[in-house]
């Protein structure tokens, strides 16, 4: 296996672990309702995602866009590379799960906030009955 690919695999593994750590931090900030830190962590998440994309572009330039990483690793003799690849796959799954849970929590908070704003400041439009007997705008 190409030594450049080995370096890229290890870099990708480290970046994904960093991304997972940042998502865990974001989760804590969401739970603790710390909006200022959530804004800061969003920029860090963006930077880390860009780093990951650069590494992936380098890998595709070396291996070719059609080449499968799974096939390349399975044909490799190095057990360290195989274990690093398995760790990458499991980390990606954990990142996806953490990202989904963070998005769900943010949506719930936004929905609650919107409901509270509507309760505090109700709509002052005059309701008019439509042809079906429902109140419309």
Average pLDDT over residues 73-81: 87
Structure confidence by residue, pLDDT tens digits, 80-96? 989 999 999 999 999 99
CATH number at residue 104: 1.20.58.300
Structure confidence by residue, pLDDT tens digits, 98-125? 999 999 999 999 999 888 888 888 777 6
- pTM here? 0.80
The answer to whether the CB of 13 falls within 8 A of the CB of 94 is no
- Secondary structure of residue 128 in the 3-state scheme: strand
Average pLDDT over residues 59-87: 86
Structure confidence by residue, pLDDT tens digits, 5-50? 889 999 999 999 999 999 999 999 999 988 899 999 999 999 999 9
Look at the chain and count its residues: 137
| Tally of domains within the chain | 1
Domain that holds residue 13: 3-136
pLDDT of residue 136: 66
The answer to whether the CB of 2 falls within 8 A of the CB of 72 is no
pLDDT of residue 65: 74
pLDDT of residue 105: 94
pLDDT of residue 84: 92
């Amino acid at each position: 296996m190409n030594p450049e690919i080995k370096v890229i695999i290890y870099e990708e593994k480290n970046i994904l672990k960093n991304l997972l750590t940042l998502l865990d931090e974001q989760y804590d900030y969401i739970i603790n309702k710390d909006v200022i830190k959530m804004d800061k962590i969003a920029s860090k998440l963006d930077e880390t995602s860009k780093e990951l994309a650069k590494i992936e572009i380098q890998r595709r330039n070396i291996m070719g866009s059609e080449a499968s990483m799974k096939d390349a690793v399975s044909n490799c003799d190095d057990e360290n590379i195989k274990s690093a690849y398995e760790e990458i796959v499991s980390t990606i799954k954990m990142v996806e799960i953490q990202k989904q849970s963070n998005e769900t929590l943010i949506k719930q908070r936004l929905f609650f906030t919107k409901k509270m704003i509507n309760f505090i400041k109700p709509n002052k439009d005059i309701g008019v009955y439509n042809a079906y007997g429902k109140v419309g705008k």
